[in-house]
Amino acid sequence: MMTQANLEYGEDVMKSLNGRGFGMKRQAIFRAVSSLKDKEVALDNKPEELAQLSDSRTFVHEQDQELHVYYSERTIEMACTNGLYAIAADGVHTKQPKELMQLFCVHGVCNGGVEVPLLYSMTARKTEDVERYRPRPMQPLRIVLDFEKASIAAVHRLFPEAKVEGCAFHLAQAWNWRRDTCNLRKFMQGHGRVPVVAEWWDTIKGVGFCQSVSTQS
């Protein structure tokens, strides 16, 4: 169990983590790591007390060379109690160890539109391999994620009743990639601009602001 001094220090670190900018967050993490008595602590070497929360509940649920999974069962239970109706998941490929190629985050949306971080994983595997760590209470009605086939397949197996949706950002990325692949940009701007083509493109880009469309469509 953590001491009162450790709890107070943890609160100070959390205030810094919630501050503005990546630099402030990095400094807070550096101070926290530097304060550890066991300097051998690393991603692949976490003492049991550091893998637990202040109430002795597990936070590190998986830890090997290719997959780390972190979540608080209590946080997820509270989210479900407060009307969890949607989850949004996405991965990034920067600001984490090179051996673990993707940081994957799952956020929940509760009553009133309140967003809560629920689960984090760092993985060198495909998203499908994270699916076995779905906490039991979670039964969202909507799931928002990118257009990766592995992610969509995993979500359909985990939540067969949920409506799977993409987001406008990833849809626009896919459209822009297709536009450039087909060499259409020259018809939409500059001296080669064709008004009909430019108008057609603006219409397509506006679809993302219409009623949500299931990825099954």
Would you call 88 helix, strand, or coil by DSSP? strand
- The continuous run of DSSP H or E covering 30 comes out as helix 22-34
pLDDT for res 82: 92
pLDDT for res 214: 44
Name residues whose C-beta falls within 8 Å of residue 53's C-beta, 6 or more positions apart in sequence.
59, 72, 74
Dist. CA 200–CA 137, nearest whole Å: 45
Along the 217 residues of the chain, how does pLDDT read in single tens digits? Answer: 556 666 666 676 666 666 666 777 777 777 777 776 665 667 677 777 778 888 888 888 888 777 888 899 899 999 999 999 988 888 776 666 666 677 888 899 999 888 999 988 887 765 555 555 556 667 778 888 877 777 788 788 878 888 888 777 778 888 898 999 999 999 998 889 999 999 998 888 877 667 655 444 4
Dist. CA 167–CA 208, nearest whole Å: 8
Q: Residue 142 carries which side chain, given as an amino acid letter? A: R
Map out the domains of the chain as residue ranges: 56-161, 169-209
How far is the first Cα of the chain from the last one, in angstroms, to the nearest whole number? 50
Q: Please, what sign has the CA dihedral across residues 210, 212, 216, 217?
A: negative
Name residues whose C-beta falls within 8 Å of residue 9's C-beta, 6 or more positions apart in sequence.
32, 35
Other Cβ atoms less than 10 A from the Cβ of 121: the count is: 24
Other Cβ atoms less than 10 A from the Cβ of 36: the count is: 11
H helices within the chain, ranges in order?
4-17, 22-34, 73-81, 149-158, 168-181, 195-206
Decide: pTM greater than 0.85. Answer: no
